[in-house]
Structure 1
């Protein structure tokens, strides 16, 4: 068990390092090919912070651990709002000037509702997965068109976030190192039957074994230790950004990563092969929901942001503390349901 935990933590560290390296390399290469820093910043917000989750989910799916990947995708959305944004706002109040984030939050809400509705029969079909992927393309195009009309301050913040060296050799090395670290890190995090790395058998390591040892189901393993573990580096980066007054980037990453998780990760998993969703019968009325309380929690945390983006566009320390408390209560509630 200690070995499994140690390799899991090492995997998380490598995921964080690999994600940072591959993002810098990709941004440098994109700008060398003519992409403006502003557009590169939009790409960064859209999905860069989801790369660790994407790498973990790809490895999990390849090795037949789809429920772990599904739990990670949903749990990451709860962690994005409750842990990452909550911790950042507690460190320093977050002012948001990026107006396009408000409609994108509605996209996140309706996307989560769509997964609940489409999965009501217990499965997301390949066609439904492709619809979610196409919807993400439309959302990204919408964000790109809307953001061109944002204030000069927002434009500068996005451009500044993406500025990096454009040296070809340096960025090719960054990208290659990042890809390798993501691959190794995701293998160490997932572990379980059939997973190996450089000939080393990882069947008794990683989240799969750790979750089993803790008495957690595969979905709950992805929902809690994996999702929270991959969110910790993002939370640290968000805290640093909040202290630098980069509230737009913090909120942009939170909403952008969450939209990516719903439409691309969950949609992509379904498009790869029809995705079976664990079903929960909820009383009263015996309502049947895909992923039950988990998807409802992700929806609830997204809705908690709506008054902020429709009101004073500011997340204060008190609101950050409230988000953290809500996140802690959700973790306790999930463990209680699991009998822990």
Structure 2
């Protein structure tokens, strides 16, 4: 029964995120909000809403391993498998200066996470925790990132007004229902995923962190995978890559920030290797994006193989 409920939870997360993005994007366009702002905020954050819900619910239920593992595992999955598949479908051109700045910001956020979970090494304490103060630091960084995004999008605001034609009819009731209904599905689906994934993990002798890094991480990253593959098929490189980079920043700064403010998160020693690997892979993505300013098919294959090797490693490690 846990497997069926887990599947239902994932379906609710994916469809809920889809409805939420559609409804919120339509209302934003009707209010003449820049398309660039919609893409960098609503789409990226909307596809990350399953991670946010799962980690926050896990924090409320004191499942710190699932909360942290979900974020780290999702980011590794996004950087390797999602970008790799998208790049294999069509080479991802990194033309936008915004993306070039966002990838180093992702690297900075990842390094900040490593520092903030290293309490035992850096301080005279007995346990590694992401405390409420650490969470507030993450949220402060997130506020700075949002300020930057709004500044970038401000210049496109007039263009957003011009693109909104008189013939476009906005159904406010429909979009409000889609947005609220999507959010409700995400919250309920997140609760189902955390409860049943944890049950399955215990039945197989898996740790909370491992199930967060694998089952939950892949499941909550499906919206990013679908969005980036669709964008790649439509030759929209900036959306395919921007969605991933924006989602990863959101995952670390907002998701872990909000979750740890709700309840301090105990950090398992095993997660350190995963966080370091996430930093290394983000650095690799930065190098790939700076090489001829594109991520080609060969780089895509390398990234996918890296994820396969990572999955093999963590199952052996467990």
TM-score if structure 1 supplies the norm length?
A: 0.83
| Residue 221 (structure 2) aligned to one of 231, 235, 238 | 231
1:130 matched to 2:136? The reply is yes
Contact 2:71 2:252 in 1 (8 A): yes
Q: RMSD value over aligned CA atoms?
A: 2.2
Query: 1:183 maps to which residue?
Result: 187
Deviations 1:131-180 (Å, cap 9, x if unpaired)?
11111111122233245679xxxx89xx89xxx96321110111122122
1:260 Cα deviation from its structure 2 partner: 0.7
Task: Provide the secondary structure at the position in 1 that maps to 2:95.
Answer: coil
Task: Provide the secondary structure at the position in 1 that maps to 2:221.
Answer: helix
Query: 2:111 maps to which residue?
Result: 113
Query: Whose RCO is larger (CA < 8 A, sep 6+)?
Result: 2
1:45 Cα deviation from its structure 2 partner: 4.3
| Greater alpha carbon shift after TM alignment, 239-248 vs 303-312 | 303-312
Contact 1:31 1:166 in 2 (8 A): no
1:187 Cα deviation from its structure 2 partner: 2.2
1:34 Cα deviation from its structure 2 partner: 4.3
Query: 2:60 maps to which residue?
Result: 62
Distance 1:237 1:37, change over 3 A: closer
- Structure 2 CA distance, aligned partners of 1:184 and 1:56? 10
Structure that is richer in helix per residue = 2
Deviations 1:245-294 (Å, cap 9, x if unpaired)?
111001101100001111111122222233221124xxxxxxxxxx2211
Query: 2:122 maps to which residue?
Result: none
- Structure 2 CA distance, aligned partners of 1:292 and 1:36? 39
Contact 2:17 2:223 in 1 (8 A): no
| Residue 244 (structure 1) aligned to one of 228, 234, 237 | 234
TM-score if structure 2 supplies the norm length?
A: 0.89
| Number of aligned positions between the proteins | 304
Task: Provide the secondary structure at the position in 1 that maps to 2:62.
Answer: coil
Contact 2:288 2:299 in 1 (8 A): no
Contact 1:22 1:179 in 2 (8 A): yes
Unaligned segments of structure 1, at least 5 residues: 192-205, 281-290
